[in-house]
Amino acid sequence: MIERVLEPEVMESVEEARDYNNMDHSAVNIGFVDDLIAAGFQGGDVLDLGTGTALIPIELAKRGLECRIMAADAAISMLDLARLNVEIASLMDVIQLSQCDAKDMAYSSEMFPWVISNSIVHHIPDPMAVLREAWRVTKRGGWLFFRDLARPGSVLEVDRLVELYTVGCNDHQRQLFRDSLFAALTAQEMGQMVSEFGVKPETVTMTSDRHWTWIGQKPE
């Protein structure tokens, strides 16, 4: 197993935000929302941590479910593009943007029935800081739905995934994806972390050749 190599916690530059936004995330975003709905989401208030440019909240809002989404990110450059994306989609009344540190949020405890996140964990040097905050702001009986990249077992596998999933990307976009694979947790590491909340490590499962997913419910 290759060692975890950290990448910057916040994608602050305009170039990073632009390149991230311009990458084709459509299949991943559609799959995320499909699986979220399959896990039981039927509407209501949602907190999306590490929303980036708000592409998943937009996809979720388009499904016709009655919901309100707090789309939170630490990077102003990401939120600037998120605001544009939300306005273009005419979803300003459904999606609210929030600049915050996911490790220390101002939201009240047990505020959200659903807390979701796609690919925040690999950006955080100590992911437990985010997971504890996410658990805190989830209502009793509420759900957490987290998905992220899984760190491959070898550099050869990293190279294979980069080659397979960055067709048509520029060099910077390819490097972003490669760095993220090295910074990611394995499903086993994530399972050990969520066991702190009294949930089974087996609630973290591999759901593609490059992603794990955690679906956890906070006890009543």
CA 130 to chain centre: 11
The pLDDT tens digits of the residues spanning 149-207 come to: 999 999 999 999 999 999 999 999 999 999 999 999 999 999 999 999 999 999 999 99
Structural domain includes residue 77:
yes
- Specify the pLDDT at position 14: 81
Cβ(217)–Cβ(141) below 8 Å = yes
Residue indicated by tokens 């915050």: 100
> How far apart are the C-alpha atoms of 23 and 61, rounded to whole Å?
21
State the total domains in the chain.
Answer: 1
Let me know if residue 6 belongs to a domain.
no
CATH number, position 93:
3.40.50.150
- CA 170/CA 23 separation, integer angstroms: 9
The pLDDT-based confidence of 25 (bands split at 50, 70, 90) is confident
Q: Are 89 and 61 in contact (CB under 8 A)?
A: yes
Is the model's pLDDT at 1 over the cut of 90? no
Q: What is the pTM of this model?
A: 0.95
Specify the pLDDT at position 19.
Answer: 82
In degrees and rounded to multiples of 5, residue 173 shows phi and psi of -65, -40
Measure the CA–CA gap between 163 and 208, rounded to whole angstroms: 16
* pLDDT 10s digits, 34-53: 999 999 999 999 999 999 99
